[in-house]
Amino acid sequence: MSNKTFYITTPIYYVNDVPHIGHAYTTVAADVLARYKRLKGYDVFFLTGTDEHGQKVEKAAKDRGKTPKEHADLMVDNFKNLWKTLNITNNAFIRTTDDEHKKVVREILQKLRDKGEIEKRSYQGLYCTPCERFWTDKDVVNGNCPDCKRPVEHIEEENYFFLMSKYQDRLVKYIEENQGYILPEMRKNEVLGFLKNRTLGDLCISRPKARLAWGIPLPFDENYTTYVWFDALLNYYSATKYLAPSDIEWWPPDHHFIGKDILTTHAVYWSTMLMALDMDLPKNIFAHGWWTVDGQKMSKSLGNVVDPNEIIEKYGVDAFRYFLLREVPFGLDGDFSINALKGRINGELANELGNLLSRTIALIVKNKKEGFPKRDDTKYISVPDTPTFFSEGLSEWSNTFLKSFDFFMGKLQFYHAIGHVVGAIKGWNKYVQETAPWAEKDHDKISNTLYTLAEGLRIIAVYLYPFMPSTAEKIWQQLGIEKDISKIDFDEEVKWGKDISGLKVKKGEILFPKVEAL
């Protein structure tokens, strides 16, 4: 085991609904980073799972005539199956109904209670049942919830409160002093704006069992269950206690990837909970944007919810994974449309990448039926054959390319990382055009060009691997490389100048068949 560790999480998804493009987005993004880090030599713990308690799930189960657990058991497979289809390499899948998780939640509740961080108070407030939260008079708009716009109820009852308010100043200071804690920058500013312009209240963390039975009972008062967010956020910690390899200290997580709508719960509730527990905060919370569909909000009532399974079936897993991270810079909102997806497939994937591979393989097959000749550095890495778009020479090119790629990945700029690779693919296509090996008579020159192309593609496949793992594998297979690309040393494999003599290329299927434009 190496001593470099990397712990990344996605939100745990509610089982009241089937997975859609929003769920797929966070999970694919986390998978890209997890795959990249593994090849960079890290021990990775990549966690995803489902959030199974609370009123939403209780209601969804009731509507289907099931108990909440029966319902959750059925729904959870929709997520697990989709992650399989999407080639997600999560190391663990947590369910908040796991006994071990419930045990940790109860221990933590007891600990906070013992430390005087949880207090019982009589309380009255305006409650939104669908959103499972209290609002103040100021928040409510004409008697309706400011979030879901449904009527709120006036409720008076005794409840338990986590004394969150006392951490307000400490949290502001923490966020200001730890620049990378909340990203992107605009989200950090939003949280700071929120914290600086209001007095933070305490957080009601219980629900009377009579109102919400489907939750974890408080260890110090069984008449109450715990607030679904309190239970859910703790998954990030509980999983390290029973789902992660125990010989490694996984805390604190490197990244929590979430959507922008659940930023407050993470940046404020979760951070202060950890402060109260004297635990380290995660190194980063990254809130990505939301997808609209054909310019409209995605919603069941509009009937425009994108089912990833349908897209994958029609256009393939890798095209979908690619699209999600290529279409919009991570952090900004984006729009999904079949047209835009087709544009990416026909353009960058079919015309550029697919074409580069098929013409390279065809040329090699035509000229080098016996495989590659033994590599001769003096011949194959000579300056005249340096592609014209790389002024520094190819070894130099591969070093600088790696630096830029690592920079983008380190900043979670997946869009730019892919853009960088696409730039190289376009460059290699130009190189084929310029060297025109089909018109060349000099055999040495042809060999040299073909080596350069094959070597370029071998390296490009490594860069594409985190985003499109099966495509990367197919490229290596067609080049005749037998190594398992998911187990390589990234930095080693992107170096220019491997000896690929003797490799027998195999003409394979077209990587991305063109799709009919709308």
The residues of the shown chain that bind ligand MSP, judged by CB under 6 A, are 11-14, 22-23, 25-26, 51, 232-233, 235, 258-259, 261-262, 290-291, 298
Give the residue with the Cβ less far from ligand MSP, 234 or 356: 234
- Long-range interactions of 473-477: CB distance < 8 A, separation 24+: 474/508, 474/509, 474/511, 475/357, 475/511, 477/506, 477/508
Nearer to ligand MSP, 258 or 503 (CB): 258
Element (H, E) at 83: helix 68-85
Strand partners, 326: none
Nearer to ligand MSP, 261 or 396 (CB): 261
Sole residue written with tokens 């195999």:
506
Tell me the closest approach of the beta carbon of residue 184 to ligand MSP, in angstroms.
Answer: 14
CB atoms within 10 A of CB 488: 17
Closest C-alpha among 350, 345, 352, 353 to residue 311: 345
Q: CB 206 → ligand MSP: shortest distance, Å?
A: 18
The least CB distance from residue 225 to ligand MSP, in Å, is: 16
Which residue, 157 or 335, has its beta carbon nearer to ligand MSP? 335
Closest CB to ligand MSP: residue number: 259
* 261 vs 280 by CB, closer to ligand MSP: 261
Nearest distance in Å: CB 322, ligand MSP: 17
Q: Residue 440, class by beta-carbon neighbours within 10 Å (0-12 exposed, 13-18 middle, 19+ buried)?
A: middle
- Nearest distance from residue 429's CB to ligand MSP, in Å? 33
Contacts of residue 58, Cβ cutoff 8 Å, sequence gap at least 6: 68, 212, 213, 214
- Contact, 511 vs 353, CB < 8 A? yes
The CA-based angle 305-308-314, given to 5 degrees, is: 115
Q: What is the maximum alpha-carbon separation in the chain?
A: 90
Closer residue to ligand MSP (CB): 305 or 488:
305
Least CB distance to ligand MSP at residue 22 (A): 2
Q: Phi first, then psi: what are they for 13, rounded to 5°? A: -90, 140
**7 φ/ψ angles, rounded to the nearest 5 degrees:** -120, 120
Question: Least distance to ligand MSP from the beta carbon of 188, Å?
Answer: 17
Q: Which residue's CB is nearer to ligand MSP, number 171 or number 479? A: 171
Phi then psi dihedrals of residue 481, to 5 deg: -85, 130
Least Å distance, CB 214 to ligand MSP, is 14
Our CB check for ligand MSP shows the closer of 183 and 233 to be: 233
Q: Which is nearer to ligand MSP, 22 or 125 (by Cβ)?
A: 22
Cis ω for the linkage preceding 466 (within 30 of 0):
no
- Cβ 171 to ligand MSP shortest distance, Å: 18
DSSP per residue, 143-184? TB-TTT-PBPEEEEEEEEEE-GGGGHHHHHHHHHH-TTSEES
